[in-house]
Amino acid sequence: MAAAVGLVFALLVIFQMSSSVSALSSNYYDQTCPKLESAVTNAVKKAMMNDKTVPAALLRMQFHDCFIRGCDASVLLASKGKNKAEKDGPPNISLHAFYVIDNAKKAVEALCPGVVSCADILALAARDAVALSGGPTWDVPKGRKDGRISKASETRQLPAPTFNISQLQQSFSQRGLSLKDLVALSGGHTLGFAHCSSFQNRIHSFNATLDVDPTLNPSFGSSLRSVCPAHNKVKNAGATMDSSTTTFDNVYYKLLLQGNSLFSSDQALLSTRETKALVSKFASSQEMFEKAFVKSMIKMSSISGGQEIRLDCKVVR
């Protein structure tokens, strides 16, 4: 009997997820807010003119939103009273460029008040971040709703840069994402910058006998150690994610195969035959990487979340 109840519950959860995902549509706002996408794109373009780190920030913001309670813009909510929100959780302290979403929301509200969710604006902004950095563009399915709950404690569920392949696989599979999705979405690391704390474990006291991770290219490891000494006191010290950090390309995979990746979670992609084959495939063909990335982004950004449309992305009505 218990097994039957469990099966019914599991099927109900699957049905709820699939019905939510199927409710998304590329032309969701065609009648109610036809100028939505150009308003969001303009906000992202304007921000990028003043700050080259904006695309990486928006892409990371989308990942961190979708992995906690689904793609419901809960990462945008401000802490209030005794409730510490997601954006103030340890993995999210370095998230920035929230103002880009706020500016896009203001522009959209001026066009069509109370119609478009913050979650959809974030999904569109992440797409624009990729496209405006030289990467692919795609039709974003829309119709997400905004969530009301945001807890810093839940950010512990985010995959960490120290994760091994089994931890990564578990984290992604819990969200309906495959190993191929994992490898393709990791390609988002082609944009951006990482603080020393994210890869310190690979360059100092790696294990009982080795100071540096032996899978790191020795010269690359040395350069990281010079930027990030053992007792680093420089707050913003770190390294770019790849050598073309403001361009969305497949250089991340090429560097990974050369032992020039930053995170343990990057290196972990070479630890199984299936994931290593995908890394090699994406390193050899930007076209195949982009095709897989778009497919996985659409899949990830369709993880269901909220229940309402927020008028201000930072606060619940």
Backbone angles phi, psi at 194, to 5 degrees: -125, 135
Q: Which DSSP string corresponds to 133-181?
A: TT----PPPB---B-S---GGGGGGSPPTT--HHHHHHHHHTTT--HHH
**What angle do the packed helices 273-284 and 179-186 form, to 10 degrees?**
40
DSSP class of 232? -
CB 118 within 8 A of CB 73: yes
Cα pseudo-dihedral 264, 200, 203, 230, rounded to 10 = -170
Is 96 a catalytic site residue? no
Cα pseudo-dihedral 236, 188, 255, 158, rounded to 10 = 70
**Among all residues, which ones are annotated catalytic?**
64
